A and B are shown apart, each in its own frame.
Chain A
Amino acid sequence: MRSDPVVQVRDLVKRYGEKTAVDGLDLEASPGVTAVLGPNGAGKTTTVESCEGYRRPDSGTVRVLGLDPVREAAALRPRIGVMLQSGGVYSGARADEMLRHVAKLHAHPLDVDALIERLGLGGCGRTTYRRLSGGQQQRLALAMAVVGRPELVFLDEPTAGLDPQARRATWDLVRDLRADGVSVILTTHYMDEAEQLADDVAIIDAGRVIAQGTPEELCRGGAENTLRFTGRPALDVGSLLKALPADSTAVELTPGVYRVTGKVDPQLLATVTSWCAQHGVMPDRISVERHTLEDVFLELTGRELRS
């Protein structure tokens, strides 16, 4: 049961007039945290809104917790929590008033006061929504998404424009949700957010998923990772190479500057430093360059993620 996908999207196509927003997209999300990563206009929001039941697919199928989000909306809605990219609150409502209202629509809501405390919304007092800061509005939207104790939460750009502290608070809550068995689908164009939070990352570009996997898998794929260090010139690179795993390379780039490529992991780092120790070499300025999701995206599309 646990391994049943929470979201299953097959060959989804969604057009708005002439423009094709999603173009044959496949996505499968397992329980846990899945990040949908991509630049603005890639089709992230359309994909998520198709899962939430807002968009009727032009073709393809969408299943969320095994249900069709359009035809079986009534059965699905109580089981999911939704944070929209913006808005969603009466402009004249106070933060606690709106959160209490959403709680009343659910059978077993969270303790509203504890949630207000947890997300630092206690200071909003009698301020109405339209006068809250952007960060407060976003935290309220997040609270509204989780207050009904859903099985699955959709967060659309949950930390866009937040200051670092509020961002960390949001990340902590996502981690707690995951630890308590709540699945999370979040869209983001922040690499570090996906790397920090996600068990699984789907990279979207031009309406399709162009890569999916754990952050580790994605970063390992494509070009190799590298390790550099500086030492005496003309070290015996051949002897170093013998100590390394079979698919590695080692070269002296310029006199005294060495580069090792391959699967850069703690074991490889230990092998290189112990080889240096055996040969009386002090590996100066040793550095590891692992691929980030940013590099992966650049390699896959030839473009920067945040353009």
Chain B
Amino acid sequence: MTTAGTYAPRPGAAPLPRMIAAQAVLETKMLLRNGEQLLLTVVIPTLLLVLFGSVDIVDTGEGKAVDFLAPGVLALAVMSTAFTGQAIATGFERRYGVLKRLAVSPLPRWGLMTAKTLSVLVTEALQVALLTVIAFAMGWSPHGNPFAVVLLLVLGTAAFSGLGLLMAGTLKAEATLAAANLVFLLLLVGGGVVVPLDKFPDAAQNALGLLPIAALSDGLRDVLQHGAGTPWADLGILAVWAVLGLGAAARFFRWE
């Protein structure tokens, strides 16, 4: 039974770091609990790596197939979480009033976006760990500067997050679901993930090379497969996408 005074007002926001941490934990739990999201972020990249790495379906050029595939699949993992997964989850959160309800909670909007980013980064760390272990088991021998790799992954995450949030914040949830999956599929095929870009005609290659997924997989491949230094051109392409995507998302995102 309720005693008098149970509901006596005692308002107050929790400390900001605690709010953001709680939000990031909940977002990550929701993502890991969702079967379709796991298919996209874990099952598909893993299958592609194992399948194309052990069966000679695509001509991946000189050297071991896994050395070509691992960087592409890492790029795919970033895209699946930061873009596809985030777009679909956020689209449905908007549709079901979750964003609307959180907007009147003590957690500020930028705190919510920070938590979403943390959740994406945690998921990516899990993906990278899993894919790296599998690739090593398949005889992967990566080269290059780990700092350049991290820089590529972070800029790629920023670029894909901007595009995913732009989609989630402007389209209907069902449209986001369909479009995000379609884009995922198209970029998987046409973005140099498992099919080398030089298999496409010259004109197409130049255009495809400007896609964020192509820049990310190409940059990762330059460093990890060929031991190149910092791939400035690819980083530049990703930076432009990040600025455009995040800027447009900030401008056009609708919370309900």
Contacts and interface: CB of A to CB of B under 8 A. Distances in A.
A144 B108 CA distance: 17
Interface string B1-36: 010111111111111001100110010011001100
A93 B26 contact: yes
B96 A77 contact: no
By CB atoms of chain B within 10 A, which of A53, A97, A144, A180 has the most?
A180
Interface string A112-150: 001000100000000000000000000000001010111
By CB atoms of chain B within 10 A, which of A79, A82, A101 has the most?
A101
Given A93-B26, A104-B19, A180-B5, A88 B34 contact: no
Interface string A85-111: 011111111000100011011111010
Interface residues of B, number: 36
Q: Tell me the dominant secondary structure on chain B's binding face.
A: loop
Nearest to A178: B7
A199 interface: no
A24 to B, nearest CB: 25
Contact of B106 (A84, A106, A114): A106
B200 to A, nearest CB: 39
B97 A149 contact: no
A297 B96 CA distance: 34
B14 A177 contact: no
A181 B8 contact: yes
A53 B104 contact: yes
B98 interface: yes
A173 to B, nearest CB: 8
Nearest to B25: A101
Contacts of B12: 78, 106-108
Contact of A88 (B29, B98, B107): B98
Given A90-B98, A149-B9, A77 B30 contact: no
Q: Tell me the dominant secondary structure on chain A's binding face.
A: loop
Interface in B67-107: 92-93, 96-98, 100-101, 103-107
A157 interface: no
A149 B7 contact: yes
B101 A84 contact: yes
A77 B8 contact: no
Contacts of A177: 7
B11 A88 contact: no
Contacts of B4: 179-180
A182 B7 contact: yes
Given A88-B100, A149-B7, A149-B9, A105 B105 contact: yes
Contact of A107 (B6, B14, B98, B107): B14
Given A88-B97, A106-B12, A77 B104 contact: yes
Contact of A92 (B14, B30, B104): B30
A292 B167 CA distance: 50
Given A146-B7, A181-B8, A106 B14 contact: yes
Nearest to A82: B104
B250 to A, nearest CB: 18
Contacts of B97: 84, 86-89
19 contacts: A52-B104, A54-B103, A77-B105, A84-B97, A84-B100, A84-B101, A87-B96, A87-B97, A88-B100, A88-B101, A97-B29, A105-B22, A105-B105, A144-B101, A149-B10, A180-B6, A180-B9, A182-B7, A182-B9
| A-B residue pairs, 5 tightest by C-beta | A87-B97, A107-B12, A88-B101, A180-B7, A78-B13
